[in-house]
Amino acid sequence: MLFKPSEACLVYHSTDLERSARFYADVLGIAFERRGAGSGQFLFARLSADFSISVMPGQPQPGSSPLVTFTLAEGGIADVVAALADYGATIVSPVGDAPDGKGAAFLDPDGHPMGLYQPQDKPLSHKETAR
């Protein structure tokens, strides 16, 4: 096993966060929290202890969105991305900034995109550095 996620999150992109918030509230009864600030604002709703939905500002890309994103609660995203690459997975987005953390994306064997996320305060790697 390369990694064990602590939760899964469906990440959608929307050109109008207010419209999306109204839609999900009216149709599915999902009440989103607004997180972030300014242009970094996004919507977040926890549906269970290990499943959530985020709506990020941006251009929707049907076919590659929503993106199933797995959370690495204890960090180590750089280690996981390196192990995925060694395993033969295609890395489509290397480790980079994400709201309140770091993120990356890869393709499963059938070409489905999947994301990884870790909180900002966690280490990128758990490997000991050689001294």
* pLDDT for res 39: 78
* pLDDT for res 99: 87
* pLDDT for res 130: 44
Q: What is the pLDDT of residues 91-102, one digit of tens each?
A: 999 999 998 899
The mean predicted confidence, pLDDT, of the chain is 90
Q: Is 27 strand, coil or helix?
A: helix
* pLDDT for res 83: 94
* pLDDT for res 102: 97
- Output the pTM of the full model: 0.79
Q: What is the pLDDT of residues 84-93, one digit of tens each?
A: 999 989 999 9
Which segments of the chain have a pLDDT < 50?
130-131
* pLDDT for res 49: 94
Asked if residues 33 and 47 have their Cβ atoms less than 8 Å apart, the reply is: no
Instruction: Return the HEC string of 70-128.
Output: EECCCCCHHHHHHHHHHHCCEEEEEEEEECCEEEEEEECCCCCEEEEEEECCCCCCCCC
The C-alpha atoms of residue 130 and residue 64 are separated, in whole angstroms, by: 39
* pLDDT for res 62: 74
